[in-house]
Structure formats: structure tokens, C-alpha cells
Amino acid sequence: MRTDFNPPTDPAAYPFVHQVRVRFAETDAMGVVHHAAYLPYLEDARVAYLRSVGHPYAAVRDDGMELPVVEVAVRYLRPLRFDDLVQVHLVPASVTGATFQIGYLLATAGQTAATAVTVHGITVGGRPARAPAWLAGLVDGG
């Protein structure tokens, strides 16, 4: 596993939060969010984060760059249920060569439901590429 970041469980450690509401279609017969439904929550927060730092994903793609997910790890701690309002906290964790990691904390009603890490490749024209300065700067708080 390439994920070497252990996401903190303190929401204050995350510079960005995005809110999603659990839809009925994302739950199983027990009324619990299906494990695969967490991945779109991470993606939604990631896209909103890029937009908030002035690099909407459409503009990143217009520059010829893609940021594919190459690995994901989720630690499920407490179930999410239909109509829960979920705060998806996000922190850029590391940039190394042609990859970067993002950490997440998913919480509802003040309780941690899950933590996650996504590892992304950086490609330009379908080939691995070094992180641009703006992306590396996000890890440094820039």
C-alpha cells in the first residue's frame, strides 16, 4: 500500500470541509450507507476543494493534466445513515514526484464516521508528470 498518511481524527487538523447529505439510494436494506458510496463523497469534497483553492478540475484538465485515483483506503468507524448531514474534512497530505495524497475525515453530528486517504497520480498527456508548484504548495499550506 502506498498510503503512508494516517488521517487525524481531530476536525481542527483539516483546512477544508465540504458537506454532503446521504441519499436513500446510497443505503442498504439495513438503512446503512453502502461502503462503496463513501468514494463519491471523497470525490465531491476533492473537486470542491480544488475549486476553493482556485484550480477547478475543469481548468486543471484544460491545462492537460489529469489526477487519477491510483489507490484509496477507508477506515469505517461508525455507520452513516439516510439523510445524515456529513462533513467531509480534507487535508492535502503529501506530494512526492508524480503522486500526491489527500486525507479525509467524515463526521456527522460531531462524531467521526470514517477516515480515508486517496493517492493520486499526476499525468500530462497520459504520461507521469511532476506536481505543479500550486499543487505542491497546498501541502505546505499555500
Question: Pick the catalytic residue: 28, 44, 62, 63?
Answer: 28
- The candidate with the shortest Cα–Cα distance to 26, out of 51, 4, 14, 44, is 44
Report the alpha-carbon angle 1-70-96, nearest 5: 75
- With beta carbons less than 8 A apart as the criterion, state whether 91 and 14 touch: yes
Name the grid cell of 40: 463519491
Residue 28 annotated to the active site: yes
User: Annotated active-site positions, please?
Assistant: 28
